[in-house]
Every structure is written in C-alpha cells, then in structure tokens.
Amino acid sequence: MTSKTLPLMVVFKNVRRKLLAIWALPEKERNVIFKRYLRQWHPDKNFGNEEQATETFKYIKFVWDRLTNGKPGNIDDDVDPSSYSDSRSSTNQKFYDNVYRQCSREREWFRASAGTQRGQHRAYNVFDDDPVPNPIQQRKWFKQAELDLCAADHFMQSAKEVQGYNWICYMCHQAAEKSLKSMVYGKDSNNVTHGHDIYQIAASLSNNSLMSAAGELQNLLGYHTHMRYPDVHAAGKIPSTSFTRHQAESALGIAKQILRDAAPKN
C-alpha cells in the first residue's frame, strides 16, 4: 500500500526531539532505546512507506553520529535534507549494519510466512488485493474513539491540579487513531495497520481533509510514546511537565474535527 507522508522537515524535527531525549539517558539504557527507535524507521519495517523511511533512517544516523562526535544538537535546528551526508566513516557503522541485517531477515521471514498462509487466513494476508469491508469492527472502533474523546473532554476540568494535560493529549491521539482505523475497517479490513502513525493511517484513506488534520495533530503532539514515557524526553522532563493546557485544548479541537469527518455514514 502506497501512502503519502508528512513533510520530511516535520519528521526530522520529531527525530531530533526523540534523539536528544535518548542521548540524555544513561549509556546502557540509551543504546537499547536507540536501537528500538532505529528499527522502527528501517525501510524493511515500513511496508508502503519505504521512501520516507529510507530518508528518515539516514537522517537518524546523521544526527546520532553528530551527537557521538560531540556536536551539539537542538530540536529546532532546521537542517536541509540535502546537506546531511558525511564523507567520514561512522564510528557507529557496525551497530547500524547489525540493525540492517536483523530487519532484512525479519522482512524475509514475514514474506515467507505470509506466502505459506495465503488463502488460509485471508484477513491477515497483507498481499491480498480484494477489499474486505468490516462494518461491525468499523462501528466498534468508532464508538471507542467517541468515548476516548468524551473522557478527554471531561478530564480537562481537573487536569491542571494533577498535571495531566499529557493524558488529555494522549486520549485525543487515541480517539483520532481509532476513528481513522474505523474508516479503514469500513473500506478494507485487510489493510488495518497495528501502527500508531495517524498521518500514515489518514494517508491510506486518500482523504486530504483527514490527512491535514492528522498531520496537524501529530506535529502538535509528536508520536504516541511522547505523551506517556519519560525516557523519550530530555533530562529533567517527563510527559506530565511537557504538555500544556493550550496543547490539550488544541488537540481536543483537532480530534473532534477528525471524528466528525470519520463518522460512519450509516
């Protein structure tokens, strides 16, 4: 499945935010989390989005090499994608090569497994072309999206006293993700992804309004882990201290727009 993607400069800003937070961690923990993040963006892990994943994977290595070489980084650094090549060999190259081999092997295993299951478990075969709508799952996912959004709206009144604006943002992200996946179920249950990239899900629907709103929400909040896990934040920061009422209110407004556009028609 081919999908349009967020502009690279938006993705790169998210990369810088993530990597600076990872770099601030103790070395042992840092390496584990960095490897997980690098695998997330490997082209063999991004079916239908290989082009963006390839550029992002290269950019992650570029930023990480700069940090390794003692060069400072900033979330708001605006780096031209055409300028991030480095003629010097990377001190991290063996690490990158190891991740590359692992991801490539896993993709080959996945392809082989999918081939042996073709025709036996049709709903899980990503290579089937015929759409299989599932309106029952569509309604279930949209109903949960509505309830997630109601919870976010209700929690707004008490979020300040418990430093909980990050949870409002997360519930808005969840509501948007589930409503978009409900639309995919309504079109083709074979193409429902287990991923959480709301822009990519919206792009698979070829709906410009939803793509715009999902991109705006993702740019506002970052990826879903940013609202929950301390290890993706810079030193001294945690999710509860990183999100504001303004972000929560903005997220709520965008999520409501997405749900209005994604509501089942029958």
Instruction: Report pLDDT for 189.
Output: 85
Amino acid sitting at position 229: Y
Q: What is the DSSP string of 98-120?
A: HHHHHHHHHHHHHHHHHHHHTTT
- Residue ranges in the chain modelled with pLDDT below 50: 1-4, 114-129
Q: Judging by beta carbons within 10 Å of its beta carbon (0-12, 13-18, 19+), is residue 251 exposed, middle or buried?
A: buried
| Residues 125 and 159: beta-carbon distance below 8 Å | no
Instruction: Report pLDDT for 200.
Output: 86
Instruction: Report pLDDT for 88.
Output: 57
Structurally, what CATH architecture does the domain formed by 132-266 represent?
Up-down Bundle (1.20)
Give residue-wise pLDDT tens across range 125-146: 333 446 788 899 999 999 999 9
Instruction: Report pLDDT for 130.
Output: 65
Residue carrying the six token digits 């502009």:
7
Instruction: Report pLDDT for 25.
Output: 84
| Residues 76 and 14: beta-carbon distance below 8 Å | no
Q: Which residues contact 102 (CB under 8 A, 6 or more apart)?
A: 39
| Residues 215 and 6: beta-carbon distance below 8 Å | yes
Domain definitions of the chain by residue range:
1-128, 132-266
Instruction: Report pLDDT for 214.
Output: 93
122-127 LR contacts (CB < 8 Å, sep 24+)? 122/190, 123/189, 123/190, 125/190, 126/47, 126/190, 126/191
Name the residue among 201, 186, 198 with its Cα closest to residue 255: 198
Instruction: Report pLDDT for 252.
Output: 97
- In angstroms and rounded to an integer, the radius of gyration of the C-alpha atoms of the chain is 20
Instruction: Report pLDDT for 147.
Output: 97
Instruction: Report pLDDT for 82.
Output: 57
Distance CA 14, CA 219 (A): 8
Residue 40's CB: how many other CB atoms inside 10 A?
A: 19
Dihedrals phi, psi of 184, to nearest 5 degrees: -65, -40
